[in-house]
Amino acid sequence: MPVGFRIEARDPVSDARAGVVVTEHGEFATPAFMPVGTAASVKGMWPDQLRGIGYGCLLANTYHLYLRPGHERIRGLGGLHAFMGWDRSLLTDSGGYQVFSMSALRTVSDDGVSFRSHVDGSLHALSPELAVAIQEALGSDIRMALDECVAYPCERAEAEDAVRRTTVWARRCLAASRREEGGLFGIVQGGMFPDLRRRSAEEIGALGFAGYAIGGVSVGEGKELQREAVAATAPLLPADRPRYLMGVGTPGDILFAVSRGVDMFDCVLPTRNARNGMLFTSAGPLSIKQARNKDDGRAPDEACDCTTCRSFSRAYLRHLFLQKEMLAAMALTTHNLHYYARWMAAIRRAICIGNFGEFVKKSAGSGVDSNFAGG
């Protein structure tokens, strides 16, 4: 079945909406956060734990799975869902961002991207057609068109060329799509140039994708410019399709983007910060490795009911972290992903009961932006 989307509630003041994305592997409610499972695994988490926390969609990385273990191997083992033991929805990116991040190892042309593997230095060519073929072999429910992402800052000419190329590649991705199941999302680029963002949104939006993503943010531009780009782009995307902000972000960033009409998010922040000893809590960030926690018998977040907060003290978690015990990363990741799931549920609930404006005001008063700038 193709990807479906229905809107169940709208905020009367802002552009926030609550909806449901439907895929071959079930439904997930929006606004939705998708934990990042780069190599077909959310680090430190069992699939059952992610299901128990309430996640309905995970993200996996095309670039990494193409290099190891290979998309054809995964296809032969029953596809990515069977390979990783996940029976709910999966989104795969196109690999474009990973290639972008390796500027010293890649060359971009209208044909695609040539790059050297970060694993063994071998040379590869990623075309729009191959990006689609890899994702179809993986069997993901939501697949992303190959795009060209530019860094910040960049010259206008570079951003303009990336917009042109992204549109050309988007058409080629649609033409190459062979699977009826699932859906292909287009990506809007344009750097920090509002007119290029508008042009890209118009060109990509006219192509009839199953959903649309805002790309090219979180590339060094800072929070203010990021939010300007999101605010300028989101309303231009087709209102009857899911809107996805790629690689963002903090709880405050997510709340802002929801108010502008964005439905889907992914970011490594909750899992990466957990592995570095930082917890998101109702009282603000908590660095578990600090000495002040060594004799603290309190739960990490006394307002949280996750397994970590019900089971372990700050002192014990600090001990595990300093000892480099595997349980430290597992426990801290469990809490952070629980926090994000609870945050998204609270946002959705506020939209559904018509209280989103008050929720935003209350969140701003609690300093959610400053408290959750990342560890």
Phi (first) and psi of residue 291, to 5 degrees: -60, -25
**What's the gap between Cα 326 and its chain centre?**
25
Which one from 11, 93, 141, 253 is the annotated catalytic residue? Answer: 93
Element (H, E) at 233: helix 223-233
Which one from 141, 147, 263, 266 is the annotated catalytic residue? Answer: 266
Active site residue 48: no
Sequence-separated (6 or more) residues with CB below 8 Å from residue 61 = 36, 37, 38, 39, 92, 93, 95, 98
**What's the gap between Cα 266 and its chain centre?**
2
Phi (first) and psi of residue 116, to 5 degrees: -105, 135
Sequence-separated (6 or more) residues with CB below 8 Å from residue 109 = none
CA angle 86, 87, 90 (to 5 degrees): 70
Active site residue 266: yes
Phi (first) and psi of residue 84, to 5 degrees: -105, 5
CB 245 within 8 A of CB 265: yes
Element (H, E) at 363: helix 356-365
Residues marked active site are found at 93, 266
